[in-house]
Amino acid sequence: MFPWIVIHEGNLFDTQKPLKCAILSEFQSMVSESDGPSSSKTGGISSSMTHPLDMLGDTYGIFDLMMDTSSIKPILTEILCSSDHWRRNGRHPVVLSTFPFSAIAREINASCSEALFYEIANVERMIVGDSRHAMNLGDQLAFEIFSTVMMISDLDIFLLGASNLYLSDRRGFNRDLTDVFWSSFISSLLMRNDRNRLFILIKGGLKYVSDLLSEYIVARISMELSDQTIRIRLIYL
């Protein structure tokens, strides 16, 4: 396992306030194969926090994952394959991947039995007739996740390549239909049960979709892999 260094920024108690750009706390957990986990803490962070998602506490919603392309596989493998974390917290990881990230998802899946992995079809190639159809597609995607996992709560869902999910009409990309699709998907996934989280990884894809999703996120999680250490910066918006 990699050592973690976690830095929180912003107001941890009111996510609606502007970013304060102040480091509130720092945590480092050092893990070695021979000695097992040990931890040090400052700023009041619990010593039981041994996984990067522990820092989110009881915060739910949509989070923007930010990392270099070369770091996606090692970082997500570290996060997703931690069986102790998922068992201890009673949560369940789910990975959704769009076409550009399907290969990476399959590689992670080969060494990780804790998470459920699904590939999303190229919905942008579908011809959507109206907003009702777009809304139904958003609902359908959410309910397929629930029915496959057989749970509707306590899910940590990682969507790789989120900006590649958009809708088209007969003339091509359609902004209005894409708006309806995402609103329906997010409402079905999160609003009916506030104990779910959606982590979106945006790389490439349409800038319009990236800008659209930025309106939904509650925090950005920046992850950097350097010298076998993963440095995490949590920025509440």
**Residues 133 and 174 grouped into a single domain:** yes
Domain count, the chain: 2
125 and 9 in a common domain: no
Average the pLDDT over 150-168 and give the result.
92
Q: In 3-state terms, what secondary structure has residue 130?
A: coil
Q: List the CATH number of the domain containing 147.
A: 3.40.50
SS3 readout for 136-147? HHHHHHHHHHHH
How far apart CA 185 and CA 61 sit, in angstroms, is 13
- Indicate whether 163 and 120 sit together in one domain: yes
pLDDT at 5: 57
**pTM of the predicted structure, to 2 decimals:** 0.80
**Same domain for 103 and 82:** yes
Q: How many angstroms separate the CA atoms of 203 and 187, rounded?
A: 23
Assess whether 3 and 102 both reside in one domain. no
Please report, rounded to a whole number, the percentage of residues in the chain having pLDDT higher than 90: 49
Contact criterion met (CB below 8 Å) for 26 and 42: yes
DSSP string, 50-114: -SGGGGGTT--EEEEEE--GGGHHHHHHHHHT-HHHHHHHT-EEEEEE-GGGHHHHHHHHHT--S
One domain, residues 105 and 212 = yes
Residues whose CB falls within 8 Å of the CB of residue 200, separated by 6 or more in sequence, listed in order: 62, 63, 64, 65, 159, 162, 213, 217
Read off the pLDDT band of 49 (50, 70, 90). Answer: low
Mean pLDDT of 120-138: 87
Judgement on whether residues 45 and 144 belong to the same structural domain of the protein: no
Q: Are residues 164 and 121 in the same domain?
A: yes
Lowest mean pLDDT among 15-29, 39-53, 71-85, 162-176: 15-29
The answer on 98 and 29 residing in a single domain is no
Mean pLDDT in residue range 27-36: 32
Q: How confident is the model at residue 193 (pLDDT cuts 50, 70, 90)?
A: low
Q: Are residues 33 and 125 in the same domain?
A: no
Q: Are residues 142 and 170 in the same domain?
A: yes
pLDDT for the residue numbered 203 = 86
**What letter would DSSP give residue 127?**
B
Residues with Cβ within 8 Å of residue 29, at least 6 apart in sequence: 3, 4, 37, 38, 39, 40, 49, 50
**Phi, psi (degrees; rounded to nearest 5) at 8:** -95, 140
Do 46 and 104 lie in a common domain? no
| Domain of 27, in residue numbers | 1-58+220-237
Whole-angstrom distance, CA of residue 79 vs CA of residue 28: 16
